[in-house]
A and B are shown apart, each in its own frame.
Chain A
Amino acid sequence: MGVKKPLATCALAAILGGLWVPVQATAGDAAAFEASMKAALAAQKAASSVGGEWRDTGEMIKGAQEAAKAGDYDKAITLAEHARRQGELGYKQALAEKDAGLPTYLKQ
Chain B
Amino acid sequence: MIRFRRHVLNVAVLAGGLAASMSYSTAFADTLEEGKEIAFDRAQGNCLACHTIVGGEAPGTIGPPLVAMQTRYPDKAKLRAQIWDATVANPNTAMPPFGRNEILTEAEIDKVVEFIWSL
State the A residues within 8 Å of B (CB): 82, 85-86, 89, 103-105
Contacts and interface: CB of A to CB of B under 8 A. Distances in A.
A105 B93 CA distance: 11
A50 B63 CA distance: 31
Contact count band on B: under 10
Contacts of B102: 82, 85-86, 89
Interface in B84-119: 92, 100-102
Give chain A's interface secondary structure class: helix
Contact of A103 (B92, B100, B101): B92
Contacts of A85: 102
Contacts, number: 9
A89 B101 contact: yes
A85 B103 CA distance: 12
Given A82-B102, A85-B102, A89-B102, 6 more contacts: A86-B102, A89-B100, A89-B101, A103-B92, A104-B92, A105-B92
A94 to B, nearest CB: 13
Interface in B54-95: 92
B86 to A, nearest CB: 15
B91 to A, nearest CB: 9
8 contacts: A82-B102, A85-B102, A86-B102, A89-B100, A89-B102, A103-B92, A104-B92, A105-B92
A47 to B, nearest CB: 13
A82 B101 CA distance: 11
